[in-house]
Structure 1
Amino acid sequence: MISKEEVQHFAENGYLHVRAVFSEQEVEDMRNGVDRIVNKAAQSRYDRNHAWEGDYLEEKELKKLVLKGFHDVHYQEAAFTRAMVHPNMTSVLQQLIGPNVELHHSKMLVKPPENGAAFPMHQDHPYFPHEKHTMLAASVHLDDADKENGCLHVVPGSHKKGPIPHIGQHYLDQKEYSIEEGTPCPAKAGDVVFFNYLTIHGSLPNYSSRTRRNVLYQFRDPSDLPVKQSHVNWGQGLMVSGEKPDYQEYKPEKILQTR
């Protein structure tokens, strides 16, 4: 559980750092899950480098990668399913979103040492706009993160500006919104940083010799409908707390038709 002051902090600033949500063993289970996913993907035709080209390489050559990303990781490893319904996670979500909480998607991001790319400042809103803006991200840290290895930076209170036009839908004008001017959010492994999808955020490159691994979940109130059909995932619609206000069908063929 989080305090009323922390709930108010999220409402006012658009983000909240909650410490020790997951135990050392739970973090280790997720780390191992990340490793297995990357290794299996590298042997398949589904290998992905998130937004940048690249292949998964041996540890000695890992620095050549920029950023490794895979969506819907809870369909690959049970550790990620346990994490999103963990009592420590859902108790926070219930206070930030409400009694009914629905998963939109999950993904993992691996920022490799020494050459892990920056993520320019942006809002998540353009990717999956919703009517009531209840969507938030829960960034689960699997490694200690600081400014040296590219921790998250946020602009407190920026969610109150509402949707902001992005360049090519992806990023804000970096002359107006620089990562360096954001507030850094250093965190320990097992911590979770929650932030509204309208909160401006980004991260600097990983200049360290340490990998930075995160699992990111996007959650919403199930009554908060998308403005348009976008960013459809197999995991979309899974309830992690409470109930849906209406009966809805979720069929794979309907999802595939939108891709």
Structure 2
Amino acid sequence: MLAADDIAFYRENGYLMVEDAVSAEQLARLREITYALIEKSRAVSESDDVYDLDNGHSADAPRLTRIKLPHKQDPYYWDVLQDSRMTGVLTALLGTDTALQTSKLNTKAPGGGAAVEWHQDWAFYPHSNDDMLAFGLMLEDVEQENGPLQVIPGSHRGPVLSHHSAETGVFCGAIDPDDPLFHPEKAVTLTGKAGSMTVHHVRALHGSAPNLSDRNRLILFYECRAADAWPLVGSASYGKLASGGAQALWDHFSEHMITGDMTTEPRAEAVPMRLPLPPAPHAGSIFKTQKSGGARSAFSGREKVEA
């Protein structure tokens, strides 16, 4: 459980660092499973439903940007979310009824693993209220040269910046580095030991530079919501679910409850929002969205995001 000062800090700043978010045994098991998945990627030559491949990936030298939906690749990723210190942090910040929005394991390969351009998660999936957050569980030590998460304190209480390309008008999943409301000089860099966890509010501005170290940067992300935060039309992921009908949507929400109970009474609040429409040509991941949508890089000058 979090201390009152920790909760107050999160409310004010929109982020938090939590040490020892899982036990040593849980961390060891998560690493074992993760490295086994990376090993299996040697047999993959194109990005698919499990892997997003980075430039230079090969059977001899696996290079990934992401393992998609890890909670579906191995049930232990789900089990540890429901039964670890993470669970208590979640309910302390979002209440007793919580659900998983999505999960991802950003591997960020050594020697230049792709940056994640500055963005607000809220831009990708606005809901009826913004009681939503992301956990970033470090499976290895994360230091400055690994391309750690950076966040701008207090930005979760400010506006939702445009994540649309000024050239094409499509959703590109990143803000313009020249936006006058973007203040990178205020950024805080979140490093930590394996087993530590970052927490950031769904509206907090954040990003991460390329991995310039000689080892993978393994961070397991869980994006979570209060159970009464319901998605608005426009999110690509829910659009696919909705095509299966109301029962498929209900089943999905039921299966993704972490703690507490479902509700059919969404809580609506007056929160700023923009819909992620029209979509980028390729929107299978944030990396593809930022590249195909024409996002401009804040980490390598002002050119467009590289392939």
Same-fold call, TM cutoff 0.5: yes
Letter in structure 2 aligned against 1:157: G
- 1:48 alignment counterpart: 51
Q: Counterparts of 1:130 and 1:69 in 2: how far apart (Å)?
A: 25
RMSD of aligned alpha carbons: 2.4
Percent identity over the alignment?
Answer: 28
What letter corresponds to residue 209 of structure 2 in structure 1? L
The reply to whether residue 115 of structure 1 matches residue 112 of structure 2 is yes
* Whole-angstrom distance in 1 between the partners of 2:184 and 2:81: 28
Corresponding position: 1:23 with 2:26: no
TM-score by length of 2: 0.72
Q: Is the 8 A contact 2:136 2:222 kept in 1?
A: yes
Matches within 5 A, 1:1-259: 1-43=1-43, 46=48, 48-49=51-52, 55-58=57-60, 61-62=61-62, 65=63, 67-167=64-164, 168-176=171-179, 177=182, 181-230=186-235, 231-232=237-238, 236-237=252-253, 238-246=256-264
* CA apart distance, 1:140: 0.8
- Structure 1 residues 208 and 5, CA, compared in 2 at 3 Å: closer, same or farther? same
1:14–1:196 Cα contact (<8 Å) kept:
yes
With over 3 angstroms needed to count, the CA separation of the structure-2 counterparts of 1:178 and 1:31, relative to structure 1, is farther
1:125 Cα deviation from its structure 2 partner: 1.2
Q: Distance in 1 between matches of 2:56 and 2:183?
A: 26
Separation (CA, whole Å) in 1 of partners of 2:147 and 2:123: 23
| Paired residues of 1:120 and 1:178 also in contact (CA < 8 A) | no
Structure 2 portions without partners, runs of 5+ = 165-170, 242-250, 266-283, 285-307
User: What secondary structure does 1:6 align onto?
Assistant: helix
SS in structure 2 at match of 1:212:
coil
Greater relative contact order, per chain length (Cα 8 Å cut-off, separation 6+): 1
Evaluate the alpha carbon distance shift between residue 227 and residue 183 of structure 1 in structure 2; reply closer, same or farther with a 3 A threshold: same
Measured after TM superposition, the shift of residue 180 of structure 1 is 6.3
- How far off is 1:49 after superposition? 2.2
C-alpha displacement of 1:89: 1.1
Change (3 A) 1:236 1:18: farther
**Structure 1, 188-197 or 34-43: larger mean CA deviation:** 34-43
CA contact (8 A) 1:141 1:188 kept: yes
Does the CA-based 8 Å contact 1:27-1:190 persist in structure 2? Answer: yes
Maintained 8 Å contact 1:103/1:236: no
Displacement of 1:90: 1.3
Separation in 1 of the partners of 2:107 and 2:185?
Answer: 21
SS in 2 for 1:194: strand
Flag the 1:83–1:162 CA change in 2: closer, same or farther, 3 A: farther
Amino acid at match of 2:28: E
Give the distance between the partners of 1:76 and 1:68, measured in 2 at CA.
16
C-alpha offsets along residues 213-236 of structure 1, whole Å, 9 cap, x if unaligned? 011001101111112152238895
Q: Distance in 2 between matches of 1:224 and 1:197?
A: 12
Cα deviation code 1:76-132 (max 9, x no counterpart): 112201221123111111111111001111111101111112211111112111121
Alpha-carbon displacement from aligned partner over 1:146-204 (angstroms, at most 9, x marks no partner): 21111110000000113221133311112344766511011111011111111000111
Look up the match of 1:251: none
Q: Is the 8 A contact 2:163 2:174 kept in 1?
A: yes
3-state SS of paired residue (2:17): strand
Q: Could you tell me how far apart the structure 2 residues matched to 1:54 and 1:175 are?
A: 31
CA distance in 1, matches of 2:141, 2:96: 31
Partner of 1:254: none
In 2, Cα distance between equivalents of 1:38 and 1:109: 11
The offset of 1:209, in angstroms, is 1.2
Query: Which SS does the other structure have where 2:144 is aligned?
Result: coil
CA deviation after TM superposition for structure 1 residue 53, in Å: 5.3
